[in-house]
Amino acid sequence: MSLAAVNLPKYATTLNGGVCQLGVSGTTVGATALGVDGIAADAKVCYTAGAYGGMVESLMASSTDTAAVNVFVYILSGTTVHPLGIVNVPLSSGNAASVLNVDLINGIVGLPVNSVGKKYIPLQGGMSIKVAVLAAMTANKILWVKSLGVDYVA
């Protein structure tokens, strides 16, 4: 007996991801005050799930800042903010041979794990992962976050 179309499992097969950047040359990224709708002048979208949802498996952060940066990671669903956590990114992470970049997902407590023990962030269709900084970054410094995930297909 085969499953009805509504009961067929969804598989994550379509790669999705991108890079978001906080800060540019000549400016300072300020501390972010998030409104209840997830709007913040300096918050950036790092990943948006496809129509059937998806899962983010990696959020790699690197920084040129000469001070540590506290990064606020959250899910934005429409206008609803779902905070995931705050992760510290040490100075020059991923920008100096002695300081590795940081996977923000590893710094968030309570996320589910996949079959090989790696944490991931599950998302429903259209939800976005956004990042912001909690305190002003040093002028002319940049924080990059590279997302990698997969979208579900029907």
Q: What is the tens place of the pLDDT at every residue in 132-152?
A: 888 778 888 888 999 999 888
Is the model more confident about 116 or about 14?
Answer: 116
Q: Is the pLDDT of residue 31 over 60?
A: no
d(CA 154, CA 52): 7
Q: Is the pLDDT of residue 7 over 70?
A: no
| Residues 57-83 pLDDT 10s | 999 999 988 889 889 899 999 888 899
73 in a structural domain: yes
User: Residue 41 sits in a domain of what CATH number?
Assistant: 2.60.120
Q: Tell me what the mean pLDDT of segment 72-96 comes to.
A: 89
Which of 38-47, 94-103, 141-150 is predicted with the least confidence, judged by mean pLDDT? 38-47
36 in a structural domain: yes
59 in a structural domain: yes
Domain with 25, as residue range(s), is 11-153
Q: Tell me what pLDDT residue 110 has.
A: 93
Q: Tell me what pLDDT residue 138 has.
A: 82
104 in a structural domain: yes
6 in a structural domain: no
3 in a structural domain: no
Is the model more confident about 36 or about 76?
Answer: 76
Total domains in the chain come to 1
Question: What b/e readout covers 136-152, taking b as 16+ CB neighbours within 10 angstroms?
Answer: ebbeebbbbbbbbbbbb
Which residue(s) pair with 145 in the sheet? 20, 61
